[in-house]
Chain A
Amino acid sequence: MDFDWSDEDLGHRAEFRAFLGEILPSDWERISEGGPGSDAQADFSRVFCRALADRGWLTQHWPREFGGSDAPPWRHSIIGEECWAIGEPRGPQYMNVNWIGPAIMRFGTDAQKDRHLPLISRGEVLWCQGFSEPGAGSDLVALRTSAVADGDDYVVNGNKIWTSYANHADYIILLVRTDPDSDKHRGISVLLAPMDTPGIEVREIPSVVGDRYFHEVFFTDVRVPIECRLGPEDEGWGVVTYALQYERVGAARYARAARTLDRLTEIARERGLLEDPLVVDRLAEARTQCEAARLLTYRVIDERAHDLAPSTNSQVARVANTRADTCVGDLAVEILGAEALEYGSFADANFRLAMTAGVAVGATEVQLNLIAARHLGLPRG
């Protein structure tokens, strides 16, 4: 067991930071605080990801045959950590590189691999995730969007909800029910559908989190070629489970929380607020949560690096990251007071993004259920 970074990894991090210094525009912070739905962020993410791809840093953890360089998970995690710390300039593409691409590598036909993987590894495509529905959130298998085979196509009807990035996405990875007589894990299929297919309508769901943060995506007699199905018909749940194993390494939310916390401390220092020991105490407590989340996330990366089967380490890490995110988001408002109420202020932007932490990657309660069942071995209710 060791907690050292190799010289190569340290060099990689330094090189990446230098790259960020060169490529980030001077108003990057404002762009990132605009949130995932903003045009400015989507536009910059395309520029950024192409530049990353040019340097071989976008999908370095992928196998060489698919545009990667077989880099170890730790190497890729450095990029993730640095990107998340500054507000994730990769935008929605971190999803493509982390789990959509790997799912296509594993289950895709040659045609699907040829069409999608080069685009993803060159940073030239945006994807969104069509999973949740109004009647299927935490209970995802209750999904009802249907896909009925008709000639060479599926005809898709239904709607997806909470879809971030739907307003800018080129493709959607879509969960549909292909067996109408099924109602659980069996009978689900995965479609890789272009977002410009006729019959797809994207509507923003206004929210207090931010502009164009959430969308509803409606499918009305949308024809998606059967050749766009990923994996076997009715066996899509296995594809999802596999993909989510990759997603388990996930977003380095702790890195963002920690950076926000340091900024918050500097702002508080400038205002003379650090004279108050209660403020200092709260800041230190938040720091411990960020650090715990960091190491728990490292443990998940380590699991991948050792090729171990996924475990509840992922759920534990997610809960810790959520706690850290929420703690820092709340603290920003508490310390900066009414100033935090102004739209677009530092505390406001961070609070709104942190607000979704317990829901964004699956409800915390589901993570706790899994920890209870699989880590603690507790009996079902």
Chain B
Amino acid sequence: MNLELDDDQNAILEAVESLLDRFAGPTRAIDLAREAAYDAVLDDAIRESGFEQAMDPLSRAGALETVLIVEAVARRAGVTSFAQEALVGPAVAGRPIRGPVALANADPKQPVRYAAQARFCLWSDGDVARIAEVGAGETEQVESNFGYPLGRISSEVFQRGEALGAGSGERLASWWRVALAAEAVGTMAAALEQTVSYLKERKQFGRPIASFQAVQHRLAECAVRVEGSRLLVYEAAYLDAPTEASACAAAHAMTSARQVFRETHQLSGAIGFTREHDLHVWSMRLQALGAELAGPAGHRRALAASRWGLG
């Protein structure tokens, strides 16, 4: 048991941060959002960096390292399906997948992240997961305020697709949960950090808003939730995404995400709603993440089923 990052892990994160300095951040995310665009440049930069080849999500250390990077990308508001391509895809398919990758519920009516740009789509079909290439004209962009490019995938895609073996359905659900939780942790941390920064500057009644105890306590409660969520997802990734631990991480992270959304907006006041203020870059994404798979209630159902044989 050792909860400190080692030198290699720290070195990877440093290198990732340098890359994200150039190809991520809220300003870039806002620019991309104007055309609901996907950051293919960031994708290419990550591939060229050699991180993906070095990481093997089928190994414990590799999965943890990939999760660390997923968290970092989310924290810097990167517009990329890195989590889906580098973590979920290979962990479920047992081989590298060249993305962008969309994870779906096989429902053509539901908007899906990265659908309009995806090369591959993964979904569950009963006990097995399926993967299919997404062809031109098989997706349609969906306009959204929730911080990610979204699209609908036509039902033709879900009629075909390679089955990925017995138990792959459950594996998809678990790794999807781990990816969601990791993205949520990075996104929450950034939303909180941005809010803390702002409230230290913003003065009312002759003092910074951050100096009021009620405000301090609410922010501290959010910090406790984020820290707990972080360790849960690290453990789940390290242990190869067991059903229960993955569902637990996702349930805690996505419930925390709702709290962080609510609290950061409430404490930021009206400026927090504006596009010129950066909070929305992360906060709205928290809602999008919460809507994925079956949401926090779905993660809790999966946790209960796994631990207590219920549902």
Contacts and interface: CB of A to CB of B under 8 A. Distances in A.
Interface of A: 1-6, 9, 74, 265, 269, 274, 277, 280-281, 283-285, 287-289, 291-293, 295-296, 298-299, 301-302, 305-306, 316, 319-320, 323, 365, 367-369, 371-373, 375-381
B231 A365 contact: no
Given A3-B238, A292-B229, A296-B227, A280 B219 contact: no
B220 A292 contact: no
B211 A288 contact: no
7 contacts: A1-B238, A274-B310, A284-B307, A292-B229, A376-B220, A376-B223, A378-B211
B311 A320 contact: no
Given A1-B238, A316-B224, A319-B224, A380 B232 contact: no
B166 interface: no
Given A283-B304, A291-B232, A295-B235, 11 more contacts: A1-B234, A2-B1, A3-B238, A4-B1, A281-B300, A281-B301, A287-B307, A299-B3, A319-B221, A376-B220, A379-B200
Nearest to A269: B308
Range for the number of chain B residues in contact with chain A: 35 or more
Interface stretch (B4-12, B33-41, B116-124): B4-12
Contact of B303 (A274, A284, A296, A306): A284
B3 A1 contact: yes
Give the dominant DSSP class at B's interface.
helix
A295 B232 CA distance: 7
A281 B217 CA distance: 27
B2 interface: yes
A280 B238 contact: no
Interface stretch (B136-144, B171-179, B248-256): B248-256
A1 B5 CA distance: 5
Contacts of A269: 308
B167 interface: no
B248 A288 contact: yes
Contact of A280 (B3, B5, B232, B301): B301
B173 to A, nearest CB: 15
B223 A375 contact: yes
Nearest to A275: B310
Contacts of B274: none
Interface in B228-252: 228-229, 231-232, 234-235, 238-239, 248, 251-252
Contacts of A365: 217
Contacts of A4: 1
B300 A285 contact: yes
B101 interface: no
B28 interface: no
A179 B225 CA distance: 43
B121 to A, nearest CB: 29
B112 interface: no
Contacts of B301: 277, 280-281, 284
Contacts of A301: 1
A378 B202 CA distance: 12
B42 interface: no
B59 interface: no
A274 B310 CA distance: 8
Q: Considering the complex of A and B, which 7 residue pairs feature the smallest CB-CB distances, nearest first?
A: A292-B228, A372-B216, A284-B300, A295-B231, A371-B220, A288-B252, A302-B3
Nearest to A4: B1
B208 A379 contact: yes
A293 B228 contact: yes
A378 B216 contact: yes
A293 B6 CA distance: 23
A291 B251 CA distance: 11
A289 B229 CA distance: 10
Given A281-B297, A302-B1, A2 B223 contact: no
Contacts of A302: 1-4
A378 B210 contact: yes
Contacts of A373: 216
Nearest to B6: A1
Contacts of B304: 280-281, 283-284, 287
A285 B219 contact: no
Contacts of B180: none
Most buried by A among B216, B217, B235: B216
